[in-house]
Amino acid sequence: MKHLWQMAKRVGVKQVTIRALAAEAGTRPSSVYYHVRDKRELLDLLIESVLAQIEVPQEGDWESKLVALYTSAFNVLVEVPGIAGLLQEHPHTAAATEMDRASRSILHQSGLPTEDFEAAHATLYVHLLGSVQLAHLGALGDRTFSYGLRVILNGLRREIK
């Protein structure tokens, strides 16, 4: 896992292959195949290892928890070029499901009307992944991500009142 994470951070998700990982680890591809069936499983493991780095806050009100969760997610994801696209292609890994569950649980604490819940959750998720992709292109940084998150949360707060 350590070699997989380091390689993905250095070369990006698109360059992660079983052969490249074997070379990175100083072993043969057959050794990697002993642990994973194919590239899809390898990429799922990458998602798991990346998302496991995201801190889920336990303390604070719903808004501060969402800021902490999404800021942690942005900071972790932005380290791995191409991860946002990979998450869109492989959205149902255990860690992705856990991240989704944490986000939804915190958002439920806001008291947002039920009819607006899915749209609000999607807005947060799209902002996260879009910001990560744009950061990889050099189009924006963490300040822009934070500003967008603040704008979304300000809008949610107005919807709740």
CATH of span 55-160: 1.10.357.10
35 pLDDT more than 90: no
141 pLDDT more than 80: no
Higher pLDDT, 36 or 147: 147
Average pLDDT of 36-53?
A: 92
- Name the CATH topology of 2-48: Arc Repressor Mutant, subunit A (1.10.10)
Q: Where are the domains of the chain?
A: 2-48, 55-160
**Closest listed residue to residue 40, CA positions, set 96, 90, 98, 97:** 90
As a whole number of angstroms, the distance between CA 35 and CA 46 comes to 13
What pTM value is reported for the model? 0.91
161 pLDDT more than 80: no
Average pLDDT of 3-28?
A: 90
Backbone angles phi, psi at 143, to 5 degrees: -65, -40
Average pLDDT of 84-92?
A: 88
11 pLDDT more than 80: yes
pLDDT at 25: 86
pLDDT interval class at 147 (50, 70, 90)? very high
Express as a percent the part of the chain with pLDDT over 90.
75
Average pLDDT, the chain: 92
Angle subtended by helix axes 62-77 and 114-136, to nearest 10: 30
